Amino acid sequence: MSTGCVIGVDLGGTKLLAGAVDPALNVHHRATHAARGADQATVLDAVVGAVHEVRDAVEAASQTVDAVGFGIPCLIDARRGVAVMAVNLPLANLPFRDLMAERLGLPVFVDNDANGAMLAEWRLGAARGTHDAALLTLGTGIGGGLVLGGVQQRGSQGAGAELGHMVVQADGPRCQGNCPSSGCLEAMASGTALAREAAKIARGRPASGLGRALASGRELAGPLVTELAHDGDPAAIDALAVVGRWLGIGITNLVNIFNPEVVVVGGGVIAAGELVLAPAREVVAERALSPSREHARIVPARFGAESGMLGAAALALDGIGALA
């Protein structure tokens, strides 16, 4: 790829991020759009609009776009490029790759969003140089990525590594969207779970920063909770700690089952940093088996909330043989 770049698109449960990316995974243009929609057509239109916005910026700079990579929060039939089932978006049995290639007029590559994030972090990020690694992306839901023996794992049908849907509390709250289970890690440690926990704490502690925010009608979503926690609000810190401890339960399972060298934590919630990771590490130290618990590093994603977008770009670069 001597003259151009690719576009990577990370489609989340509520928003999408698209970026023009070169073979060294440097980002040159970005576009953020809302992805929430009542129907499939609305979501697809948002995706196409974001790609066009980035492509226009690239071409205005006298460069070309050679391919588009998509990371979508969906079970993927990778051979056919079909989005089989999504938990948090209205996508089902959709020939996503072929549909996007037709609408965009470019080569298209597609994978699960967390698999893409794992690819970016494994190739050039926090898991670089490892042979056994796991990744969790904490956003609207929780995605998972897995590398074992130096090979990225996707399962027998491409639907594997759904680490966010391990059950960590058998009688826990119903998981969200189209997941039929209860007490999944996603139900306990995602951005959605953080908002639920923050509201619960705010109602019990009305004089806190969280309580005052709730009383003023503000949405207690992850960014606000994180902001208040960084400002020292004890209630917000406690909400993040609850999520962090549940995250630790999930990571304990990964450490015991896979004996990874590193567990990478990404997604929007990782903006809270050690306010989430420190409680998680404490739980792993208490509950995971030795020597695996001493061996596994638990670290934030190098690329933060952009791992998914960069991973989607890396997928496209791989597809056209241009990844540095």
- What gap in Å lies between CA 200 and CA 66, rounded to an integer? 48
With CA atoms as reference, report the closest residue to 313 among 7, 29, 1, 17. Answer: 7
pLDDT tens for residues 276-300? 999 999 999 999 999 999 999 999 9
Residue 74 has pLDDT above 70, yes or no: yes
Question: Domain boundaries in the chain?
Answer: 4-118+306-319, 129-301
Name the maximum alpha-carbon separation found in the chain: 59
Asked whether residue 324 carries a pLDDT value surpassing 60, the answer given is no
Question: What is the model's pLDDT at position 37?
Answer: 63
pLDDT of residue 323: 57
Per-residue confidence at 1, pLDDT binned at 50, 70, 90? Answer: very low
What tens digit of pLDDT does each residue of 102-116 get? 999 999 999 999 999
Q: Which residues partner with 86 through β-bridges?
A: 74
Q: Which CATH architecture has domain 129-301?
A: 2-Layer Sandwich (3.30)
Structure tokens at 229: 């926690």
Mean pLDDT over 138-155 rounds to: 94
Question: What DSSP letter does each residue of 139-206 carry, written as one string?
Answer: SSSEEEEEEETTEE---SSS----GGGSBS-TT-PBPSTT---BSBHHHHHSHHHHHHHHHHHHHH-T
pLDDT at 126 over 80: yes
**Euclidean distance between CA atoms 311 and 71, whole angstroms:** 7
Average pLDDT over residues 219-241: 96
User: Are the folds of 4-118+306-319 and 129-301 the same?
Assistant: yes
Whether 14 shows a pLDDT value over 50: the answer reads yes
What is the sign of the dihedral through the CA atoms of 310, 316, 317 and 319?
Answer: positive
Q: What's this model's pTM, rounded to 2 decimal places?
A: 0.89
CATH architecture for residues 4-118+306-319: 2-Layer Sandwich (3.30)
- pLDDT at position 58 over 50: yes
| Residue 107 in tokens | 């080569």
Which run of H or of E encompasses 15? strand 15-21
